[in-house]
A and B are shown apart, each in its own frame.
Chain A
C-alpha cells in the first residue's frame, strides 16, 4: 500500500534545502534532462537513519587550474570544463563542447570527471566523451589533469582512448559534456 506522508518528510526535507536556491537554478539551467529523470522510490527520511556522508568537494575549487579557469572561450585549454581533458578540442575541429565534428561518432562510453564552474564555485560532472572514427584532428591540444588517475582506475583516467562502442576506435577529438551537478 502506498501513501504519501507529507508530514514526516516535510520538515527535514525543507530544512535540507533551505537556502539551497542554487539547486533549483542548476536544474533549470541543465534543462529537461535531469528534471525528466524517472521518479524513483526513496526512503522516508527518518531520524533513526543518519544521512550518508556527502563527498567533500572543497579541494576541487582550490587547484591551480580552478583558480585560473575562464568561462567565455571554449576553444582554449583553460576553459572551466576542460579541467581534466586530454586531446584535441572538438570545438576547434568543427564540433562543439558536446558536439562531434561532421562524420565523427560520439563514444557512448567515457570517463566522468568533475570541474568547478568559476561563476558559482560549484562542481559539475563532465563526461569527456571522445569523438571517434576519423583521423586525429590535432588542433587545440590540451592535457589537463585535475583528479585524473592511472589506468588501473580507468573511470578516472583521461589517456585511454574512450572510443568503445563506436564503428572505429580511431581518435578524432574530445568533448566535455555537462551531465549533472556534483
Chain B
C-alpha cells in the first residue's frame, strides 16, 4: 500500500503515453520541465521529481534508437481551471490543521487523497449542513489580525465549489480549541447554535435559512450542546445535570434533569457523541463511565457502566495512585452509529491524565457493554473519528500531525498522512 496519499497521482502522470515529435534533445527538454513543474508544486516531493526526471531521460534515450515517424508533442496552451468537489461523501473526513494553520483539510479515506481545504481560521468551529449543501464555520477575527475590532460571524461555504455564500454576524462566541459541541446544527438544517462565554454563558441562535442572527439566550452554568429536534438544545451543566433549553415557544425555558454525574470529581467529556437516528447522546467520564441519554423535552439518562469492566479489567477510579487504562485526549471517542460501536482512545496512567495520547483504541459494543476489540495504535493519538460508511474507516491523529487511517474490515492501516493536522476531525452524517 502506498505510504502517502499523493504518490499515486505522480505515478499516473508518468504512465500516460507521451511520444516526442522532434529531436531527442528537444524531447528531453520538452518532457523535463513539464514533469518538473508538476513535481515542484508538491514541495516536499522534490525527491520524487528527481526520479521522474530520470525516467523522462530514459524515455528520451529509448526513443533515439529506432528510426520511425516521430510523434507530435502537444503545444496547445493550457487554460487554468478550478477543481470542484461533490457534496461530502461518507468516506471523507475533515481535519482541522491545528492552532497555527487556518484551514481544515478534506481527505477521502478510500483513496487517501487530499481533496481540498475549508477555511477554518484559528479556534473556529466547523459544522456540516445535514443535507450536505454547505459548510458552516463559526468564526472570530479582529480587523487587524491580532487587534482592532472583534468580529464574530458564521461563514457559509458552498460544499461543491467552496465559495463563500455569506457571513452571518453574531454577538460573540467562546474561544476554545478542540470542541465538537460549541457549534451545532439542528437536524433539519434550519438553525445553528453557537455557544458564547463573555464570561457569562449564553447561546446564540442563528437562522441558517434566512442567514440571520435571531437571539441570545442565557444558559447559566452549562456548556457543550446538542440540538434537540422540535425543542432546542440540551447541554451539560456544572451541577451534574443535563439542561434542556426550549426554544420552540415564544419564551425560552430551561429545565434540568436530576444530577447524574460529578462535574468536578468525575467530569463527563465535552466531546460526547450524537446519534441522530436514535436521538441519543453517548457520554464518557474521566474514570471511564459510559452514559447514554435519550433527548427530548425531558431527557432520559441511563445508569452508567464502566468501560474498563467492559474490557475485563477493574473499573476506573478517581482515587490517586490507581494505575489503570483511562480514556484521554482531546477528541476522545468516535461512534459508528449504524453498528453501535464506540471507539475510545485509551492510555495507561493515573487519574487526571485525561489529556494524554493513546496507546490503544478500544472498540466498545454499546448494546452488550463489552469491549470486543483492542487495537494498539502508533503516534499517541489525541483525536479520533470514524467514518459512517457501511465499511467504516478509523481516523486518528497525534500531536505530530500524522494522521492514520485504518480499514476496520481488515484492522489494518490504509493510509499514513504526513503533516495532515492534529485538530478536530469531522465526518459527514455525524453530529
Contact = CB atoms under 8 A, between A and B. Distances in A.
B352 A135 contact: no
Interface string A150-170: 111110110111011001111
Contacts of A135: 145-146
A160 B238 CA distance: 16
A115 to B, nearest CB: 12
Nearest to A132: B146
Contacts of B394: none
Given A59-B320, A63-B320, A151-B176, A136 B100 contact: yes
A101 interface: no
Given A64-B349, A154-B223, A149 B321 contact: no
B199 interface: yes
A157 B238 CA distance: 12
A138 B100 contact: yes
A56 to B, nearest CB: 11
Contacts of A169: 140, 150, 175
A135 B146 CA distance: 6
Contacts of A167: 147
Contacts of A62: 320-321
Given A63-B352, A160-B197, A169-B175, A150 B146 contact: no
Interface string A135-149: 110100001111111
B352 A152 contact: no
B41 interface: no
A27 to B, nearest CB: 28
A150 B142 contact: no
A133 interface: yes
A133 B350 CA distance: 36
A85 to B, nearest CB: 11
B299 interface: no
A136 B122 contact: yes
Given A145-B352, A145-B354, A170-B147, A150 B321 contact: no
B224 A156 contact: no
Determine which residue in A59, A138, A150 has the highest number of CB atoms from chain B within 10 A of its CB, and name it. A150
Interface stretch (B53-61, B107-115, B209-217, B261-269): B261-269
Nearest to A87: B99
A122 interface: no
A152 B238 contact: yes
B237 interface: yes
A152 B236 contact: yes
Contacts of A143: 355
A103 B176 CA distance: 23
Given A62-B320, A136-B100, A152-B238, A160 B222 contact: no
B178 interface: yes
**Most chain B CB inside 10 Å of its own CB: which residue of A144, A145, A149:** A149
A150 B150 contact: no
B386 interface: no
Contact of B270 (A63, A151, A156): A151
Contacts of B320: 58-59, 62-63
B147 A133 contact: yes
Contacts of B127: none
B145 to A, nearest CB: 7
A133 B201 CA distance: 23
A76 interface: no
A109 interface: yes
Contacts of A159: 176-179
Contacts of B198: 164
Interface in A53-108: 58-59, 62-65
A131 to B, nearest CB: 12
Contacts of B237: 152
Interface string B57-72: 0000000000000000
B233 to A, nearest CB: 13
A168 B142 contact: yes
Contacts of A145: 352-355
Contacts of A65: 352
Nearest to A84: B352
Contact of B146 (A144, A153, A168): A168
Contacts of B201: 154
B423 to A, nearest CB: 12
Contacts of B199: 109, 154, 164
B4 to A, nearest CB: 26
A144 B302 CA distance: 31
A118 to B, nearest CB: 16
27 contacts: A59-B320, A62-B320, A62-B321, A64-B353, A109-B199, A135-B145, A136-B99, A143-B355, A145-B354, A146-B352, A150-B224, A151-B174, A151-B179, A151-B182, A151-B224, A152-B236, A152-B270, A154-B199, A154-B223, A159-B177, A159-B179, A161-B175, A164-B199, A168-B148, A169-B150, A170-B147, A171-B175
Interface of A: 58-59, 62-65, 109, 133-136, 138, 143-154, 156-157, 159-161, 163-164, 167-171
| A-B residue pairs, 3 tightest by C-beta | A62-B320, A170-B146, A161-B175
Given A148-B354, A151-B179, 10 more contacts: A59-B319, A63-B320, A151-B270, A152-B221, A154-B201, A154-B223, A157-B176, A159-B178, A163-B175, A169-B175
